Structure 1
Amino acid sequence: MATTAMKGSGIHVVVFDERDKILPLIRKAIIESITSFNYLPACMSYIDEMTMDNETTIVVTTSIDDRVIKTFEASNSIEAVFILSTTRKEIDKSFTKVVGVYPRMDNLLPVLFETLDIVELQLNANSILFHRNLDGGDNIDFYFYNLWLSHEINQKLTRKDLIEQANIFYRSKKQMHTAIHEFDTSYNKLDILNWIHRSDRAFPYHILITNALRTHDQHILGLTRFFILDLTRQLKPLSTIQMCSQGYYGTKLPLSVVDRFEQQTSRDIISFQCFLPVTKTRANALAVAVRPTRRRKMISVLFKIDASNALGVHMGDIILLDMATAFYIIGVSRYAGFGSARELVTIIQLVAVDSGSKQQLYEEFIEKKQSEGRSIDEFLIDTIPLLKSDDMYKRQNKNKSDTPKDVPELKDDPESKDISEDEIAGDEFIAHGEWDQAINAFSRIEDPNVRVLNKAGCLLREHLQNLPGALECHEQALRKATNREKADTLMHLGTVNNDMRQHNEALKCYSQALQWYENEKPKDPATIARCLVGLGNAHWACRQLNEALDCAQRALTIREQEVKPRNDFEIAGCLGNMGNILHDQGDMEHALSCAQRAADILSQCGKNDPRVAAAYNNLGAMYLVCGDYSKAREYFQRALDSLPIENHPYRISTLNNIARLNAIEKGQKP
């Protein structure tokens, strides 16, 4: 089941409260994504696992224990700590991340809102892209938004699609549902500027769009494209508006980024991957820039921006500039002193590129790439699909899938209208990758239905490595299931039996499921293909190679010709299976052909995906068997180059294959 995440603002608010008292108060006050813990190791594990490089975490806690605060202080992922406590205790001044200790929630919240805004400014600043890479080549990402806006979208999504998906993903968050409903009933594109104030209306701009802009998340950008286009239409050339177009932007930047600014020439160009809010008041920007630094190797920066050539709109003291506005770097002044305390601030002067020069820049880029035989489509992820209701379960994080691939869909499920609080809690734990807690929540349901039992079985198999427990859950589900539910449950049972090496049982389950799917009206080609893959794997394990090859070929044909939208990863998977089966049959010529096709497809669509390394390693292993050691070494090296993660199983497998190759070649030497 293909899934994707509906990501949030890029800012995680984490509550650590050993007595579980303050979570309802915070959830009532703000609608950002909030996760609560009463056990410190679990809290830190969540922060370390879920916070990526382009995100940050803010902690609200009731603890004044030095041990706890030291733990938060040591985390690179945590930006700020707020303490809610009436205990009068002096906090060690070395704890620089502690913003303050507050006796009441209404004292804490205004400062928290201010910090959320400051952190968003920092995340925006860190979304800077330079026109050229360090080696002098074009930075493809720099051109992203010009290409994205001009690219023809086949499937245009609407506000209705956004509302539907948001309600599904945030279905257990009442405060968020209120915000979503207000947006649905009150949104007017002519009044769009009122929807970008965090304190009043954080959804969808601050909750979804800002982080999607920074990270080029095309799923969220697709769902919110109508909003982005409505906002863009409100922007005008600032040169035509009889108002000041000089602005300032204060922030913190990594020292390495500032070093690069200093190395650029006056004709080099940068852009921020956001709608940039610059203030007309220099003092306000300076106040933000010189706020205490809580992270290492970060320095205070004041951007002085001439926006007269840019598109923008005046909003009081703020000028909101168009997303990805291109700027020339005019000058960098290191460590100028300001104020009575003589704070050290680096001033970077920027001027917006005029429209003619900008258009010429993009046209030259496109012409250059077209002359190389490459199209705009190659610079964009696949055309944005309409997400299914089950697509909200999975969060992709740090090269790993955190959600069971086989979690049952809610679509067309008559029981899905009656979801218990425990199931909602379990689903929320799934979204956060908290597998044990999810299982505990599901186990509290007295009479679980088929959907719950299958969810629990998938969790036990994929993440808790409890195959007997998974088998028991799916068998219970089968006793209750009818029609489509029965076929889906048989698929789950086939997978578990295969994993338990009970391949004959797996064959029975997959065969029964396939018979049902092929008789279904209308047919679901994606599900049939997935069932054929499972059935083929069971035949392969039983050394029934002709039957296994037939299943793999049928699955490939369906995925290439019938499944829409086309999924190249699944097509490559079928080709990889066929290559392995043909290898076992001794047909090395056709095995190499399939393995090569799989590797070629993955290398084009799976940048930084471990499956690329697996495909190269598989291809290298086949060449090793064929005695072509030069080709084998070439593809083993490609596998290593595409997967830098030291302890990844695919990399270890490749290194083992290289060791075998070295031993073979050494043994051949006289």
Structure 2
Amino acid sequence: MASKGSGVRIVVYDEYDKIHGSIRDAMIETIESFYHLSSCISFIEQNAKDDRASIVITTSIEDHVLQSFESLHPVEAILISSKSRRYVDTLPSKVIGVYPKMENLLAALFKAMEALELQLNANSILFHRQKDGSNNADFYFYMIWKTHYGSQMVPKKSLVEQSRYLFYSEKKVKAHIQDFNANYQASEVLYWLDKYNHPFPYNLLVSNALRTHDQQILSVIRLFILDLNKQMKPLPIGPSYNQVFFGTKLPIELVDRLEQLTSKDIIAFQCFLPVIKSRTKALAAATEPTRRRKIANVLFKIDASNALCAPMGETVLIDMATPFHITCVTRNTGSGGVQQLVTIVTLVAIPKRHRDYIFSHFIEQQTKAGKTISDFLQQTIPLVRPDNTYRRDDEDKSEISQYSIPLYVVSVAQPRRDSLAVCNDEAEADELIARGNWAQAVDSLARIEHPNVRVLNKQGSLLRERLQDLPGALECHEQALGKATDKGKAETLIHLGIVYHDMKQYAEALNQYSQALQWFDKQKPRDPTMIARCLVGLGNAYWARRELDEARDCTERALAIREHEIQPKNYSDIASCLGNLGNILHDQGDAEQALGYAQQAVDLLTIHGKNDLRLAASLNNLGAMYLACGQNDKARENFERALEHLKDENHPYRQSASNNIARLDAMEAAQKE
């Protein structure tokens, strides 16, 4: 899915649901909230590739919980909501503070978010050359992107419609989109950079998309970016106008690389860089206290004479991807009583003639190599950034792989076709599904003028599983429900239950599963497979609602049916039930019994599912349970078994296990310090 939202993700580990509501009400964007540690850690790991930093808010003060978050690479800060009197200096280095009052925690959160966004801008540096001296193709991205797409403007209406689609479940964001639709004027584009009064579109879409070259989002908000470019002008001549500063913190390894560059080397920030005229204020920002290790205080001293800029009061916005020479890198102590070590990086924006030369020379090289602009754009940064997802036990049995969210699609009326054409469309869709062409398969099914229940449910499942289009999936399954009778209706209710669960509408999911279970319970002969599916769906929905007793009851009933009534036995389904039951018991505080069920799931798949990828997932889950319990040796053993079982280094299950091992290594190293 395209990376919507700012560059900072807020993750709440709220074991007893004490603070989630207060934080949700204070935020514009959706926060991610979790009640059990293993799910929270897995979420952060699985989303590590979208280039967003995470701030974790937790109600737990336990050492193993804090060390788990400390060791996760995407986590940049940890805030603790607790009345504990523990001193922050005794806690892991990413912990900013312990806050007994919500208002103090929120104030610290907003300050941390603002500082982190600036750090992400600083970390967006791209070097003109790779370390081996070869061209860095990514460095040229925006010059070519603007040239290639400059005339292909997405109108404001489409920008608004696509944004509503992207933020379909976020009411607060929708209100800001409506404000933009009603009041935005191109001549006032700079006013829409205010993240408090106008968070959309810049802070919710543009800034992170620029840093990550997310072409899917960039295509949506091209109009806004080009309006912003039109405001960029040369600064007035004179040192008092052209000298600007940017204070931030950078990883030491990045500072080390900057120090090794010569005056001929060039860098660019993949953002509209917000700098200020006051050296004192920039230095204060650079030397803000931090407990983080391997982080350096950095003050960029910038000569913007040759840059295009937009003055905004004390702030000056430098045009995106402006190339700079690095003229000097020195380490000094701060002035004005600030004794912290500061690295001063002096930059000079390169003249337009030089800038045009290096870009034209690069394009000549690409042309000689037989590469078009489209080839270049697709090879530098992938057009779509796929997310990984894993099959839940209540989902259809079709294999889940990678998928991406589509942009706004305008439907076109199709002429009426005969029944043979309809059959051909479904056959074509099945063939496209077999080849993994999900969007084309959906198009084939959508061409069927009078689709039956089977076709509608197939289309809905594709939209949900493969394209992550939950509103579209919901519409398809609701249409199917209107046409279905008897068993078809009950099966459609299960589809609806899955969609509502994914939309986090758990009460509605319970309603759908309950209706389906009621129908199957009355049928003769009894269909234990479908009854078990309904019970698993109910168990998952109750689990999400933290109604753990009900979740356990449904899951135990499903397990009994799968173990004793379904013949031949499906050991993978039994193992899934055992794993679910282990997670529920873990959340109920019965760690010993939870580990027992998780171990049974692993043992069962080891014997009967050696080629089932869920064995790797079960081993990883068991390891995560041991890690949460502080049993590091057993955790490591199971993580390593998961790696041995799955040789594909790019598979998400293997990556998750690898990340867990890395986190465990970091935790143990931190404990030795």
Q: Into which bin does the TM-score normalised by the smaller protein fall?
A: 0.5 to 0.7
Report deviation, 1:38.
1.6
SS in structure 2 opposite 1:172? coil
- Asked whether the equivalents of residues 500 and 508 of structure 2 are also in contact (C-alpha less than 8 Å), the reply is no
- How far apart, CA to CA, are the structure 2 residues paired with 1:99 and 1:123? 18
The equivalent residue for 1:16 is: 13
Distance 1:198 1:440 in 2: 34
1:607-653 superposed Cα distances (whole Å, 9 cap, x missing partner): xxxxxxxxxxxxxxxxxxxxxxxxxxxxxxxxxxxxxx998645699
Partner of residue 184, structure 1 = 181
1:210 aligns with 2:207: yes
Residue 283 of structure 1, aligned match among 280, 283, 286 = 280
Decide whether the 8 Å contact of 2:248 with 2:297 is kept in 1. yes
| 186 and 105 in structure 1: CA distance in 2 versus 1, 3 angstrom threshold | farther
Report the counterpart of residue 334 of structure 1 in structure 2.
331
Q: Partners in 1 of 2:265 and 2:531 — Cα distance?
A: 57
2:365 aligned counterpart, secondary structure: helix
C-alpha distance in 1 between matches for 2:468 and 2:185: 37
Q: Tell me the equivalent position of 2:251.
A: 254
Q: Which residue of the other structure, out of 142, 150, 160, is the alignment partner of 1:163?
A: 160
Q: How far did 1:236 drift?
A: 0.8
2:205 corresponds to which letter in structure 1?
L
Question: Using a 3 Å threshold, how does the CA distance of structure 1 residues 259 and 70 change in structure 2: closer, same or farther?
Answer: closer
Q: Does 1:52 align with 2:49?
A: yes
Aligned equivalents of 1:151 and 1:43: distance in 2?
41
Deviations 1:556-608 (A, max 9, x none): xxxxxxxxxxxxxxxxxxxxxxxxxxxxxxxxxxxxxxxxxxxxxxxxxxxxx
Q: 1:161 Cα deviation (Å)?
A: 2.5
Residue among 105, 115, 119 paired with 2:102: 105
Question: Does the 8 Å contact 1:299/1:345 carry over to 2?
Answer: yes
Contact 1:247 1:279 in 2 (8 A): yes
1:349-397 superposed Cα distances (whole Å, 9 cap, x missing partner)? 0001111211122111112221222222211138898444999xxxxxx
In the alignment, is residue 266 of structure 1 matched against residue 263 of structure 2?
A: yes
Amino acid at match of 2:367: Q
- In the alignment, what sits opposite 2:66? 69
- Residue matched to 2:321: 324
Aligned residue among 434, 442, 452 for 2:509? 442
Deviation at 1:129, TM superposition (A): 0.6
The CA distance in 2 between the partners of 1:97 and 1:316, in whole Å, is 33
Match of 1:404 in 2: 465
- Looking at structure 2, the residues matched to 145 and 217 of structure 1 have their Cα atoms a distance apart, in angstroms, of 11
Structure 2 length-normalised TM: 0.59
The equivalences for 1:558-569 within 5 A come to: none
CA distance in 2, matches of 1:147, 1:425: 46
Residue 196 of structure 2 aligns with which residue?
A: 199
Measured against aligned partners, the alpha-carbon deviations of 1:22-75 in whole angstroms (never above 9, x if no partner) come to 222222222134111121222122122223373211122333344433333333
| Matched residue, 2:76 | 79
Matches within 5 A, 1:167-566: 167-239=164-236, 244-381=241-378, 386-388=407-409, 404-405=465-466, 410-411=471-472, 413=475, 430=502, 442-446=509-513
Write the distance in 1 (CA, Å) between the matches of 2:138 and 2:231. Answer: 25
Q: Which moved more, 1:320-329 or 1:200-209?
A: 200-209
SS at match of 2:241: coil
Partner of 1:631: none
Aligned partners of 1:237 and 1:309 also within 8 Å: yes
Q: Which residue of 2 aligns with 1:485?
A: none
**TM-score, with normalisation over the residues of structure 1?**
0.60
Distance 1:411 1:260, change over 3 A: same
Structure 2 Cα separation of the partners of residues 428 and 122 of structure 1: 37
The one-letter code of the counterpart of 1:271 is A
The 8 Å contact of residues 79 and 294 in structure 1, kept in 2 or not, is answered as no
In the aligned structure 2, how far is the partner of 1:275 from the partner of 1:5? 20
Distance 2:469 2:261 in 1: 52
Q: Distance in 2 between the 1:428 and 1:170 partners?
A: 17
**Worse-superposed segment, 376-385 or 305-314:** 376-385
The separation in 1 between residues aligned to 2:204 and 2:645, in whole angstroms, is: 35
SS at match of 1:244: helix
Retained in 2: the 8 A contact 1:8–1:33? no
Matches of 2:122 and 2:24, distance apart in 1: 28
Per the alignment, do residues 428 and 62 of structure 1 end up closer, same or farther by CA in structure 2, a change over 3 Å counting? farther
Q: How far off is 1:156 after superposition?
A: 3.7
Q: For structure 1, which segment, 257-266 or 285-294, has the greater mean C-alpha deviation from structure 2 after superposition? A: 285-294
Tell me the equivalent position of 2:553: none
Distance 1:361 1:255, change over 3 A: same
Partner of 1:129: 126
8 Å contact kept, 1:60–1:84: yes
- Three-state SS of the structure 2 residue aligned to 1:7 is coil
Deviates more, 1:379-388 or 1:369-378: 379-388
2:272–2:321 contact (8 Å) kept in structure 1: yes
Q: Distance in 2 between matches of 1:427 and 1:241?
A: 61
Q: Does the 8 Å contact 2:463/2:472 carry over to 1?
A: no
Match of residue 564 from structure 2: none
Aligned partner letter, 2:327: I
Cα distance in 2 for partners of 1:210, 1:317 equals: 20
**What is the distance in 2 between the residues matched to 1:65 and 1:28?**
26
What residue number does 2:416 align with?
none
Gaps of 5+ in 1: 392-400, 432-436, 454-466, 477-644, 654-670
Number of aligned residues: 450
Deviations 1:507-551 (A, max 9, x none): xxxxxxxxxxxxxxxxxxxxxxxxxxxxxxxxxxxxxxxxxxxxx
Indicate if the aligned counterparts of 1:425 and 1:438 stay in contact, CA closer than 8 A.
no
Answering whether residue 129 of structure 2 is matched by residue 141 of structure 1, we say no
Maintained 8 Å contact 1:145/1:324: yes
Give the Cα separation in 2 of the matches to 1:425 and 1:348. 56
After TM superposition, give the deviation of residue 171 of structure 1 in Å: 2.5
Name the residue aligned to 1:621.
Answer: none
CA deviation profile, 1:73-106 (whole Å, cap 9, x unmatched): 3333221122334455544534332222334333
Secondary structure (helix, strand or coil) at the match of 2:305 reads coil
Task: Call closer, same or farther: CA 1:76–1:368 in 2, change over 3 Å.
Answer: closer
Query: Is the CA contact 1:195–1:201 (under 8 Å) kept in the aligned structure 2?
Result: yes
**Partner SS state of residue 445, structure 1:** helix
Residue by residue over 1:474-502, the C-alpha shift from the partner in whole angstroms, topping out at 9 and shown as x without a partner, is xx9xxxxxxxxxxxxxxxxxxxxxxxxxx
Helix, strand or coil: the match of 1:278? Answer: strand
Give the Cα–Cα distance (whole angstroms) in 2 for the partners of residues 652 and 170 of structure 1. Answer: 30
Contact 1:248 1:303 in 2 (8 A): yes
RMSD of aligned C-alpha atoms? 4.0
Shift of 1:224: 0.4
Cα gap change, 1:169 to 1:448, in 2 (>3 Å)? farther
Match of 1:27 among 24, 31, 40: 24
Alpha-carbon distance between aligned partners in 1 of 2:238 and 2:199, rounded to the nearest angstrom: 28
Query: What's the CA shift for 1:226?
Result: 0.4
Higher relative contact order (CA 8 A, sep 6+): 2
Q: Could you tell me how far apart the structure 2 residues matched to 1:470 and 1:406 are? A: 28
User: Structure 1 residues 312 and 159 mapped into 2: Cα distance closer, same or farther (>3 Å)?
Assistant: same
Identity in percent = 42
* Alignment-derived partner of residue 459 in structure 1: none
CA distance in 2, matches of 1:333, 1:67: 39
In 2, Cα distance between the equivalents of 1:55 and 1:16? 18
Deviation per residue, 1:266-290 (Å, 9 max, x gap):
1211000000001111122222222
